[in-house]
């Protein structure tokens, strides 16, 4: 009786194994064909290679708009807090110091909201915004591009004086020199805050979402540079052309190196050179 029983047990195990295999295949086909809620994964949707998807074109634009609104609200709350805590003190006059403080609050809030948006997409903010160290040859290439652009634009400004925006920037620097605090804040916002925040916005967040949309990397370079230039309202049209060209350089560096940090370094280096030139002439 032992041998028939053993054969019967073996046959049953084979049958059970075949049933389990058939069940797994059926469930797999059902998941692929009918992605109902019972089969859907709770993990973020992923693109090729298992990487979370970036925000699309319109979603990226919506997050950017929400970040700007949040920044204005932060400024409003700061003013409201000052009025409540100083009810008998008149509002302070508009000074360079106050303007730079406001700009710092505004830019920090925009960058913070976009970092939250990156996390909401299922990424680490550092990875989504490409805040990674660039390779040495990319840094050297970026420096060479900046020097070439400086030489080219300086020579062009000698031929077309309307391209020279030094009068605007020198006037801003002279106004900041009215106080030590204002001068320190001018250097901080120009060399640190603006490069970090603007590159996180344009070459970090928007570049990530838009370059993976239908407009691609080239379309993203052009569009982000146009918006970047248009927001520099203190310059005339020739001045905006210069800012547009710089935006293309920063975006190209971000694209080829995969590092927004390189764009930040290039932006900061350009601002240092421009500010040092102004300081020597004032």
- According to the 3-state scheme, what is the secondary structure of the chain? CHHHHHHHHHHHHHHHHHHHHHHHHHHHHHHHHCCCCCCCCCCCCECHHHCECCCCHHHHHHHHHHHHHHHHHHHHHHHHHHHHHCCCCCCCCCCHHHHHHHHHHHHHHHHHHHHHHHHHCCCCHHHHCCCCCCCHHHHHHHHHHHHHHHHHHHHHHHHCHHHCCHHHHHHHHHHHCCCHHHHHHHHHHHHHHHHHHHHHHHHHHHHHHHHCCCCHHHHHHHHHHHHHHHCCCCCCHHHHHHHHHHHHHHHHHHHHHCCHHHHHHHHHHHHHHHHHHHHHHC
Any idea which of 7-16, 189-198, 211-220, 270-279 has the lowest mean pLDDT? 7-16
pTM of the entire structure?
0.79
How confident is the model over 230-275, as pLDDT tens digits?
988 888 888 888 899 999 999 999 999 999 999 999 999 999 998 8
How confident is the model over 104-122, as pLDDT tens digits?
889 999 999 999 999 999 9
Residue 43 — pLDDT band, cuts 50, 70, 90?
very low
Domain boundaries defined on the chain: 53-281
């Amino acid at each position: 009786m032992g041998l028939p029983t053993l054969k019967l047990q073996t046959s049953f195990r084979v049958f059970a194994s075949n049933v389990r295999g058939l069940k797994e295949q059926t469930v797999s086909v059902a998941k692929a064909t009918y992605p109902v809620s019972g089969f859907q994964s709770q993990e973020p949707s992923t693109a090729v290679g298992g990487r979370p998807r970036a925000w699309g074109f319109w979603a990226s634009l919506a997050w950017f708009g929400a970040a700007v609104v949040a920044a204005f609200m932060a400024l409003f709350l700061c003013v409201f807090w000052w009025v409540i805590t100083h009810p008998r003190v008149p509002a302070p006059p508009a000074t360079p110091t106050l303007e730079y403080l406001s700009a710092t609050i505004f830019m920090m809030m925009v960058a913070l909201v976009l970092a939250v948006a990156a996390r909401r997409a299922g990424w680490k903010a550092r990875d989504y915004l490409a805040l990674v160290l660039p390779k040495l040859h990319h840094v050297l290439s970026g420096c060479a591009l900046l020097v070439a652009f400086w030489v080219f634009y300086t020579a062009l400004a000698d031929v077309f004086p309307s391209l020279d925006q030094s009068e605007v920037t020198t006037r801003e620097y002279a106004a900041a020199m009215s106080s030590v605090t204002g001068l320190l804040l001018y250097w901080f916002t120009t060399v640190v805050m603006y490069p970090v925040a603007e590159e996180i916005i344009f070459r970090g967040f928007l570049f990530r979402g838009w370059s993976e949309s239908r407009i691609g990397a080239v379309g993203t370079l052009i569009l982000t540079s146009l918006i970047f230039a248009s927001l520099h309202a203190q310059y005339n049209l020739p001045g905006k052309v210069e800012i547009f060209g710089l935006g293309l350089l920063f975006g190209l560096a971000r694209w080829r190196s995969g590092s927004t940090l390189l764009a930040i370094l290039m932006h900061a280096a350009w601002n240092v050179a421009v500010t040092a030139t102004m300081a020597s002439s004032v």
